[in-house]
Copies of this chain bind each other. A is one copy, B any other.
Amino acid sequence: MELYLIRHGIAEDRSKYNRDEDRPLTKKGYEKTNQVAEKLLKMGIKFDLILTSPLLRAKETAKILQKSGLSQTLDESNDLAPNGQIKNFVDWLGKSLYNYKSESYLALVGHQPNLSNWTEKLVWGSNTNNKIIIKKSGIIGVRLPEKADPIGNSELFLLTSPKWII
């Protein structure tokens, strides 16, 4: 299966909001995410599910992706919050409809450094120190094996900031 780990778009400054989780996307964040969504559509990608962090900037990013027609289904998961653990996500994935099917496409919308760390764990089995640079509205593409533990047995096929694809 293919997993697209997408970082939320550019969000309003921390100083303006009491709670980090309430920060919405900026106009630029909205526009860039929209352009990324258009590119994914143009590439013929359809997600079986978009799973998002419950923080506002991630939810707004995920909604833009969904509204563009990339997925009929959108759900929230605490596993994708900044303190989320990949172990919990992989446990959930193993029990889900999407597990390991080679034709499954999932999008995760979340935060740094989680997206880099999760990618390193999926591909290399352990994570170092944020060696994968993913910009806001950027995408990491990871292919999970059909019949093996995804941790340490996945492949990296895409890493791009929005500017390369929009």
Contact = CB atoms under 8 A, between A and B. Distances in A.
Interface of A: 39, 43, 123-124, 128, 131-133, 143, 154-161, 163-165
A157 B143 contact: no
Contacts of A133: 143, 155-157
22 contacts: A39-B164, A43-B163, A43-B164, A123-B132, A124-B124, A124-B131, A131-B155, A132-B155, A132-B156, A133-B143, A133-B155, A133-B156, A133-B157, A156-B159, A157-B159, A157-B161, A158-B159, A158-B161, A158-B164, A160-B160, A160-B164, A164-B164
Nearest to A163: B43
A70 B90 CA distance: 43
Contacts of A131: 123-124, 154-156
A124 B161 CA distance: 21
Nearest to A44: B163
A67 to B, nearest CB: 22
A79 B32 CA distance: 40
Contacts of A143: 133
Contacts of A161: 157-158
